[in-house]
């Protein structure tokens, strides 16, 4: 029988343990192999797990657990650090986690994106933030797995590990963070309007977090309006910059490996008072399967709202978009792109209805043919547009895998694809559902829910921030969707 003793080195134990420290050590015999950790580490498994109830024990009288030592070592490492040594987690590891009844939150952090079930999302955790400022942005790393979660509140960026059991915060030079991207568990990027540069926030795990470096637009230090990043394998980071005088703007593509600027895309200049001629992009998105960059921005003036939507093939041209459209009648309150559905989606600023444009049918400059098909109430959309209402004001839209999420005030809806017809001229059929208990403005304890100001999706989870709430809500798919088979 081989014997392997794993010490809890990540918990900063001194080389010569004191009597009080040794009294908190828990020794485990898992399938014939010995492990040593602390009761504090095991408590992170959750109250439903038998691991959480195990007390200190000497090496000559270890607790016995019937399990696979190799898989248990990975689970124990995750409890200590909140990170997995490799992704994706194997089905065997997920089965082992369920075998030891690790709580639903921990299982969700291990689950792959394929386990995400939008109709099974339920709130599972409320992460309180330090300070008096409510979060302005949340982000989840660009990975099929929700390895961690990052929140910006004021000028502070706080990173939570995958199990949401520990946090690390760093103070940036930014007064208020407007845009946030989590590249990996160890790197987040923050930007702010009216403040130059993209701030790099590093969370190395084994050292203090830092926010000392910044990325700049090479021609002129400028404020950041929006950011988007590709999956790590694609090595792209996009940032929308606007000059301090608001007379020029551009999207700059950075290499995620070197964090150096690669190309400037769609530079615009304002001449005189013609602000609408150079509307800066305030929403960016990357479609990896199509190698296209979505860049959209809008402007509200005396004549109403007008906006531009552009699709860029950054390999072909940095000055001429592959496709573009000028929105006027029912301009978008927000727009998003779905790689899985090969479509663009928008929420009408006037109507509040959801529209879809098939990427396969987009061509030219978008001025001759209206690309949008209303997948909501078309008659209501027409009436709202004609009366110039603002029913879509403040709505948000985001695509995750093959689902489209819309935030309307305090609640969220999800659009799912129910049919795809392959005949020419036919359209995709989408159906609206509600996330959670639907459009109720009141919680179970009778309090009124607050407006959603930011949200993010990753792995099997959704995270969202609400106005004036100094916390982040974490919603996970039901643990029953996580299978070890």
CATH number at residue 28: 3.30.710.10
**Cα–Cα distances in Å, from 313 out to 27, 167, 283, 366, 390?**
57, 38, 16, 16, 33
Q: Residue 21 falls within a domain, yes or no? A: yes
**Cα–Cα distances in Å, from 262 out to 170, 214, 239?**
28, 16, 12
Q: Residue 87 falls within a domain, yes or no? A: no
How do beta strands 461-466 and 236-242 pair?
Answer: unpaired
User: Are 261 and 404 in the same domain?
Assistant: yes
pLDDT truncated to tens, each residue of the chain (485 aa)? 333 334 333 333 334 444 444 568 999 999 999 999 998 889 888 777 889 889 998 888 999 999 899 989 988 888 887 666 666 667 788 788 888 888 666 766 766 677 788 988 888 889 999 999 999 999 998 765 556 899 999 999 999 987 787 889 999 999 999 999 998 888 999 999 988 899 999 998 778 999 988 998 877 778 899 999 887 666 889 999 998 888 889 999 999 888 899 999 999 888 776 777 789 999 999 998 899 999 999 988 777 789 999 999 988 889 999 999 999 888 999 999 999 999 999 999 999 999 999 998 887 655 557 899 999 999 999 998 888 888 998 999 999 989 999 999 899 999 998 765 555 555 568 899 988 766 654 555 556 789 999 999 988 889 999 999 999 999 988 643 333 32
The pTM of this model reads 0.80
Is residue 137 within 8 A of residue 454, CB to CB? The reply is yes
Q: Is 354 helix (H, G, I), strand (E, B) or coil?
A: strand
Is residue 116 within 8 A of residue 467, CB to CB? The reply is no
d(CA 178, CA 227): 10
Distance in Å from the first CA to the final CA of the chain: 29
User: Are 373 and 264 in the same domain?
Assistant: yes
Q: Is 20 helix (H, G, I), strand (E, B) or coil?
A: helix
User: Are 123 and 231 in the same domain?
Assistant: yes
437: phi then psi, degrees, rounded to nearest 5: -95, 10
Is residue 135 within 8 A of residue 55, CB to CB? The reply is no
Total tally of structural domains belonging to the chain: 2
d(CA 449, CA 466): 8
Q: Mention every residue, 6+ apart, whose C-beta is less than 8 A from residue 116.
A: 400, 401, 457, 459, 460, 461, 477, 481
User: Are 126 and 193 in the same domain?
Assistant: yes
Domain's final residue, options 37, 63, 81: 81
Is residue 388 within 8 A of residue 326, CB to CB? The reply is no
- 340: domain CATH number? 2.130.10.10
């Amino acid at each position: 029988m081989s014997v392997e003793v794993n010490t809890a080195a990540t918990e900063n134990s001194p080389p010569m343990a004191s009597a009080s420290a040794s009294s908190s050590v828990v020794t485990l015999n898992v399938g014939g192999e010995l492990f040593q950790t602390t009761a504090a580490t095991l408590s992170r498994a959750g109250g439903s797990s038998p691991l959480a109830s195990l007390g200190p024990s000497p090496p000559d009288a270890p607790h016995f657990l019937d399990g696979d030592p190799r898989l248990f070592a990975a689970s124990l490492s995750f409890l200590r650090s909140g990170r997995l040594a490799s992704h994706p987690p194997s089905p065997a590891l997920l089965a082992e986690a369920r075998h030891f009844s690790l709580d639903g939150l921990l299982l969700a952090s291990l689950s792959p994106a394929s386990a995400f079930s939008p109709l099974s999302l339920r709130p599972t955790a409320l992460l309180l933030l330090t300070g008096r400022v409510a979060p302005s942005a949340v982000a989840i790393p660009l990975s099929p797995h929700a390895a961690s979660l990052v929140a910006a509140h004021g000028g502070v960026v706080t990173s939570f590990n995958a199990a949401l059991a520990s946090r690390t915060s760093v103070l940036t030079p930014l007064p208020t963070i407007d845009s946030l991207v989590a590249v990996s568990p160890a790197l987040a990027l923050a930007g702010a309007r009216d403040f130059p540069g993209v701030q790099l926030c590093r969370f190395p795990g084994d050292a203090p977090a830092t926010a000392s470096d910044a990325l700049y637009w090479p021609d002129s230090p400028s404020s950041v309006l929006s950011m988007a990043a590709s999956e790590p394998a694609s090595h792209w980071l996009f940032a929308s910059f606007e000059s301090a005088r608001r007379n020029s703007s551009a999207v700059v593509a950075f290499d995620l490996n070197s964090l150096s600027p690669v190309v400037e895309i769609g530079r615009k200049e304002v001449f005189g008072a013609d602000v609408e001629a150079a509307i800066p992009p305030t929403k960016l998105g990357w479609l990896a399967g199509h190698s296209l960059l979505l860049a959209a921005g809008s402007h509200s003036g005396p004549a109403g709202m007008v906006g531009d939507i552009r699709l860029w093939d950054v390999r072909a041209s940095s000055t001429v978009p592959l496709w573009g459209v000028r929105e006027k009648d029912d301009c978008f309150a927000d727009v998003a792109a779905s790689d899985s559905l090969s479509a663009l989606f928008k929420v009408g600023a006037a109507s509040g209805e959801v529209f879809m444009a098939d990427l396969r049918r987009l061509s030219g400059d978008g001025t001759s043919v209206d690309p949008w098909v209303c997948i909501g109430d078309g008659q209501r959309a027409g009436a709202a547009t004609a009366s110039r209402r603002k029913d879509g004001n403040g709505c948000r839209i985001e695509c995750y895998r093959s689902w489209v999420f819309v935030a309307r005030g305090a609640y969220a809806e999800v659009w799912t694809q129910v049919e795809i017809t392959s005949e020419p001229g036919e359209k995709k059929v989408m159906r609206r559902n509600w996330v959670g208990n639907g459009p109720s403005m009141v919680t179970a304890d009778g309090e009124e829910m607050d407006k959603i100001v930011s949200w993010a999706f990753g792995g099997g989870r959704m995270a969202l921030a609400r106005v004036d709430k100094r916390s982040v809500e974490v919603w996970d798919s039901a643990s029953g969707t996580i299978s070890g088979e």
